[in-house]
Amino acid sequence: MTVLAQGLPDDRATNGEVRRASPVPSATGISASILRVTHQIERWVHLHLATYDLPPGMTLNRMWALMQLFQQEQQGCLTRMSDFAEVLGISARSVTTVVDVLESQGLLQRRADPADRRVTLLEMTAQAVSLMPEFERVMQDVGEHMCASLPEAERRELLRLLGKLFRQEPGIP
């Protein structure tokens, strides 16, 4: 470990040289980096999704939506359309579009809430449930691709920082 010109340790330098501390990254630079990484993930998934055993037209967003609904069902929750929109972080109008597409693909169905017929509940079909292992495989492969160059300690730190960063957002658990 070397010492920075300002007397702070610098783990990046290993040859005994003295480095100047780099300036604190701007919020703009950080948000641009997050958007760039998100775009790269989406692009990688788009390029590779056809290599998985998935229904035609499956996208990362549709897969994510079904995974969230599956998680709700595994917890024994009946999921209302409005709750599903909140879980996905999208508007009620947008969730209707998502549900329309997934329903047309035979992956979920709407049903009236027996306690309140004004409420629409969502339920995954057996076909959608059968896709969960393949979705998990996609997510595993995406994670391995993204983190291939990170040792275990850096993966843990990345996860910690992402959790810290996004827990600050109102409405996000």
Structure confidence by residue, pLDDT tens digits, 91-144: 989 999 999 999 999 999 999 988 888 899 999 999 999 999 999 999 999 889
Is pLDDT of 9 > 50? no
Tokens 């959608």 sit on residue: 128
Identify the CATH number of the domain defined by range 27-167: 1.10.10.10
* Spatial separation of the C-alpha atoms in residues 29 and 34, rounded to whole Å: 9
Confidence of residue 14 (pLDDT cuts 50, 70, 90): low
Mean pLDDT of all residues in 60-77:
92
Burial class (CB in 10 A: 0-12, 13-18, 19+), 131: buried
Domain residues of the chain, as ranges?
27-167
DSSP state of 107: S
Confidence of residue 23 (pLDDT cuts 50, 70, 90): confident
* Spatial separation of the C-alpha atoms in residues 145 and 41, rounded to whole Å: 9
- DSSP lists the bridge partners of residue 15 as none
pTM of the predicted structure, to 2 decimals: 0.74
Mean pLDDT of all residues in 135-163:
91
Which pLDDT does position 173 carry in this prediction?
46
Residue 84 near residue 99 (C-beta atoms within 8 A) = yes
List strand residue ranges (DSSP E) for 72-159, in order: 79-80, 108-113, 116-124
* Spatial separation of the C-alpha atoms in residues 70 and 85, rounded to whole Å: 14
